[in-house]
Amino acid sequence: MLTRTLPIVLCALLLNFGGLGLLYWATQEADRVAYERQDHLFERVISDLRGQIAHDQESVTVWDDAVVAVRDGDEAWIEGNLGIWMQEYFDHNALFVLSPDNRLLHQFILDDPQYAVDYDKAKGTILHLAETLRTRMRENGGKLEAGAYLQTPGAVDVALIDGRPTVVSVKALVSDSGDIAQVPGSEFIFVSVRYLDGKFLAETERKFLFDGLRFSVTDQSREKEASNRLVDMTGQTIGYFFWSPYRPGSAVFSYLLPMLAALGLLLLLLIVFFGLQLRLRYRKQRLAERQMYHMARHDSLTGLPNRSCFNDAVDEFLHRLEYEPRRADQPSGIALLFIDLDHFKQINDTMGHPGGDAMIRAVAGRLRANVPTGSIIARVGGDEFTLLLTGLRDISDAEAFCDSLSEAGHAPVEVNGRLIPISMSIGIAFDADGGLGRDELIRRADVALYRAKANGRNCHVAFDPEMDAINREKRRIEHELRATLDAGAKQLKLQFQPLYTLPGETLLGVEALARWEHPELGNIRPDQFIPIAEETGMIREIGAWALRSACEAALHWPDIGISVNVSVLEFEDPNYVENVRTILHETGFDPGHLVLEVTETVMASGELSERILGELKELGVMIAIDDFGTGFSSLGRLRNLDVDIIKIDRIFIDQIDVSVRDRELVRAIIEFAHMAGMEATAEGVENASQLDCLRMIGCDNVQGFYYSRPIDAHLVDQLVLQRPIASGDR
């Protein structure tokens, strides 16, 4: 009996101790793996925060307005955009602005002493980073490239400030248009400081399940605490983060040990039972890990993948497309789309951040509901989305999808009880077989999106290789235009198109039109350089030059008026009215003979446009609405504006002699103008038939090739002598 029992007992003992040892090893291994994962995750959290703070800064550092405001000492602008905006929207604890010689110019400190930052205590770290950045800027010659995620170089480090772990990031204030010249290394420096304790620890503990997360400058950990060393860019230890690590193995072992001691003879049953318990704990751990992994790779507002997740998914798809076999009849074309919400910043400014968030969530829901199966969609920025379409036959499939997406997305979104209309600009990069690679697809989609915005937004544009050539040509024109303006606009000149009255066809005035005669490129059309000037802000300089030159030229024609076009950027310039006053005073030109032509777009400014128009009228000039019928005009709004003339766009005049509908529409516009006490001028008159129709329906003034193309000033001298002159202020 003993002989038979002993082996069983020995086996049971061996199984008992062996199983106990194996179980202990397994629990320790589970604890180690769990700790390594948490340690890696915490490293990722710190790394992402450093990059995010620098990325947050770029919302204001790559901006002409920021450079100008800091340079000019515009306290209100600086406080609103470099202080309040960064603190309230991005939760930065303190912001500082340094001069080119690293003097403190501005600081924005929270009132709450818990989050206040003493600049003197942070000064050493800040100045070291600022000088590091200036050295890089000087070595790079002021080039702004900093990588796919950040637009400009910067310097970021961790430091111990007032005994607290802190991220300090410095960025140079640089021009987004390139129009503001700065010596590399002499830029204003924008400094952002954020503590890594307090709110950061609480948020990280809650979001990523780091129990008891704390910081200490020493490495003295409490019992069973895990730690992560925080070091600066020189490798010096700043301090340590401690937390109670997730120990799934130890929890199970502590639970099993008393039972194993008491129930050794039932070892096999206990192993099975508690093995199931271990498996359950492991599943919970895996679920928590998957949740944390999902949170790290997805946008918290919309639930969509973020940029990192999107890039990985696209790379994986392109890899499969290259190496996995597919049927010959299976379409292999792909298209990468960049989607940008039009005028989102204005919506966000008007409705506030909650309203903007609601808008983003609504658009994300529509995108998710309308993308085909197999597509990859992500939110990669504030109002930017990316989408990879697969299984396309050709580019027309992508364009058809964009048409349907725009149609589905145009329905207004209800925000705070208001219906807000939305539109999207979409850039398309198509690849027939996936051979271009992710980076090239992204570049092409970005170029196409830029073109869609340049085309007036609310449209989609597919990348064309000519766009690269066009972009190079645009950059050359921009460079040459900048050089021309810096040299006194000597290559620019004005031509003048006559304006006549009806019915007598007497000369009323001329409209000044800018022309560019380049010594190498020849005559550059206005539709080539004016849009570039508007994009870069150079239109303000051109407009001032045109107004001054027109007034000086018109001094030779005291019996007729002169009309000058005004861009939206000029009109919205706070100093525009004063600039007009100065030019009139310096040239001695009679304001009663000057007509400023603004487009209908200015009416979108509401009370601002009413105020500016009123101030211009006080100067004695007249106001004309140019290209009437093609923009944002509301007859009700127009009636409330102090406007003298409506210039009816040529698209309504082109068919007026053959289209009853166009003729009646123009008649209605003229009658409205007369009832509102305004004159009506028809643009683009090209034949006598059109002129007869306009005379018959009571148009006041006409202009077009029927009378004259734009002519040089000396020909206007002859015209004034040859033609009858209309009486009146103009």
Provide the CATH number for the domain around residue 318. Answer: 3.30.70.270
Predicted pLDDT of residue 418: 74
Residues 604 and 508 in one domain: yes
The residue type of 243 is: W
In a domain, 369, yes or no: yes
State the total domains in the chain: 3
Predicted pLDDT of residue 165: 94
Out of 70-74, 249-253, 579-583, 691-695, pick the least confident: 249-253
Predicted pLDDT of residue 383: 86
pLDDT of 582 higher than 90: yes
Out of 20-29, 111-120, 177-186, pick the least confident: 20-29
In a domain, 9, yes or no: no
pLDDT tens track for 222-257: 888 888 999 999 999 999 999 988 877 776 777 777
- CATH code (residue 172): 3.30.450.20
Predicted pLDDT of residue 545: 96
Asked which of 463, 491, 507 is the last residue of a domain, the reply is: 463
Residues 437 and 541 in one domain: no
Residue 426, CB-side half-sphere exposure with 13 Å CA sphere: 26
Residues 387 and 514 in one domain: no
DSSP string, 217-229: SS----TT-EEEE
Residues 446 and 500 in one domain: no
In a domain, 268, yes or no: no
Strand 384-392 relative to strand 376-379, pairing: antiparallel
DSSP string, 381-397: SSSEEEEEEEEESSHHH
Q: Which regions of 576-662 does DSSP assign to beta strands (E)?
A: 594-599, 622-628, 645-648
Predicted pLDDT of residue 70: 94
The CA distance from 116 to 107, in Å, is 11
Predicted pLDDT of residue 1: 44
Residues 410 and 495 in one domain: no
Average pLDDT across the chain, whole number = 85
Q: Which of 373, 368, 204 is nearest to 302 (CA)?
A: 368
In a domain, 552, yes or no: yes
pLDDT exceeding 90 applies to what percent of the chain?
A: 38
Strand order in the sheet with 237-244: 211-216, 237-244, 226-231
Q: Please list the alpha-helical segments (H only) found in 332-377.
A: 344-370
Out of 173-177, 269-273, 529-533, 566-570, pick the least confident: 269-273
Residues 605 and 717 in one domain: yes
Residues 495 and 439 in one domain: no
In the numeric block, which tokens belong to residue 466?
Answer: 């000519």
Q: How many CB atoms lie within 10 A of CB 547?
A: 24
Predicted pLDDT of residue 94: 92
**Banded pLDDT at 628 (limits 50, 70, 90):** confident
Asked which of 443, 463, 483 is the last residue of a domain, the reply is: 463
Residues 457 and 483 in one domain: no
Residues 650 and 670 in one domain: yes
Q: Are 598 and 566 contacting, i.e. CB atoms less than 8 angstroms apart?
A: yes
The residue type of 674 is: H
Residues 292-301, mean pLDDT to the nearest whole number: 82
DSSP string, 137-193: HHHTTT-----SS-SS-EEEEEEEETTEEEEEEEEE-B-SSS-S---TT-S-EEEEE
Tell me which residue range forms the domain holding 316.
Answer: 307-463
Q: Are 624 and 652 contacting, i.e. CB atoms less than 8 angstroms apart?
A: no
Q: Are 375 and 417 contacting, i.e. CB atoms less than 8 angstroms apart?
A: no
The CA distance from 111 to 272, in Å, is 60
Residues 547-551, mean pLDDT to the nearest whole number: 96
Residue matched to tokens 């038979």? 4
Residues 453 and 573 in one domain: no
pLDDT of 154 higher than 50: yes
pLDDT tens track for 82-131: 999 898 888 899 999 999 999 999 999 987 777 788 898 999 999 999 99
Residues 616-626, mean pLDDT to the nearest whole number: 94
Residues 449 and 594 in one domain: no
Strand 594-599 relative to strand 561-566, pairing: parallel
Find how far residue 523's CA is from the centre of its chain: 34
Asked which of 463, 496, 521 is the last residue of a domain, the reply is: 463
Q: Are 553 and 713 contacting, i.e. CB atoms less than 8 angstroms apart?
A: yes
Residue length of the chain: 730
Predicted pLDDT of residue 148: 46
Q: Which of 368, 456, 366 is nearest to 412 (CA)?
A: 366
In a domain, 146, yes or no: no
Residues 490 and 621 in one domain: yes
**Banded pLDDT at 5 (limits 50, 70, 90):** very low
Predicted pLDDT of residue 634: 52
Predicted pLDDT of residue 132: 92
Residues 628-657, mean pLDDT to the nearest whole number: 78
pLDDT exceeding 70 applies to what percent of the chain?
A: 89
The CA distance from 363 to 379, in Å, is 11
In a domain, 34, yes or no: no
3-class SS string, 232-274? CCCCCEEEEEEEECCCHHHHHHHHHHHHHHHCHHHHHHHHHHH
Secondary structure (3-state) at 73: coil
Q: How many CB atoms lie within 10 A of CB 727?
A: 10
In a domain, 162, yes or no: yes
Predicted pLDDT of residue 498: 95
Residues 178-185, mean pLDDT to the nearest whole number: 88
Determine if residue 57 is left, alpha or beta; phi over 0 gives left, psi from -120 to 50 gives alpha, anything else beta.
Answer: alpha
pLDDT tens track for 348-365: 766 677 888 888 888 888
The residue type of 657 is: D
Secondary structure (3-state) at 418: strand
Highest mean pLDDT among 449-453, 531-535, 695-699: 695-699
Q: What is the largest CA-CA distance in the chain?
A: 139
Burial of 205 (0-12, 13-18, 19+ CB in 10 A): middle
In a domain, 653, yes or no: yes
The CA distance from 103 to 71, in Å, is 13
Q: Are 130 and 150 contacting, i.e. CB atoms less than 8 angstroms apart?
A: no
The CA distance from 359 to 362, in Å, is 5
Q: What pTM did the predictor assign?
A: 0.50
